[in-house]
Structure 1
Amino acid sequence: QWGSDVLFINGGYLNVTIPSCVKSGQYLFRAEAISLSSATQYPGAQFFTSCAQIEVTGGGDAEPDTVSFPGAYTPTDPGIVTNIYTVQEYTVPGQS
């Protein structure tokens, strides 16, 4: 099931649970929807992002995985250019 289906079914909302092991502190949480309708050729996928400043309290000792923008992925990463009509498996950009 595509992520856009889940968002549509839930009226645009998606609940996310922050693992209790994440260290307390201030974080910038970035959510991203990727449109693949034009991804068959470069420049490929279209990214629609939202960010929220969150504060984790009562957390654990784990440092969360983080990325930097720009640089989290490149135009040649899997999932940026893909054909959603023929692909059997999809790799999310930055997850390779």
Structure 2
Amino acid sequence: MPDEIKMSVSGAVKNKSGQKVVYVTFEDKERSAEGVLPEGKILKNTGFTQEEIKALEQYMISQKDAIIQMARTVNPMKAFLSDGKNSHH
């Protein structure tokens, strides 16, 4: 995977069926994709090829434990509040 792709991780949230999930965003200058764990599926894609999507899905699955651990360190309220401040200026 090229180094320019940035990955960001949401905190764990409950989806519609009440299961805890973590959203993972991959992005570079032109493209972005959003995936979900534990399924390891890309839900939204802008600009990545099918081959790249498969690689991102494999990456999410192979790194699932580490990514979920990262999500545990995310404070959703803190992220929400800092986003809220930025959008009003």
Question: TM-score range with shorter-chain normalisation?
Answer: under 0.3
| TM-score, normalised by the number of residues in structure 1 | 0.23
Structure with greater strand share of residues: 2
Structure whose CA Rg is larger: 1
Whose RCO is larger (CA < 8 A, sep 6+)?
1
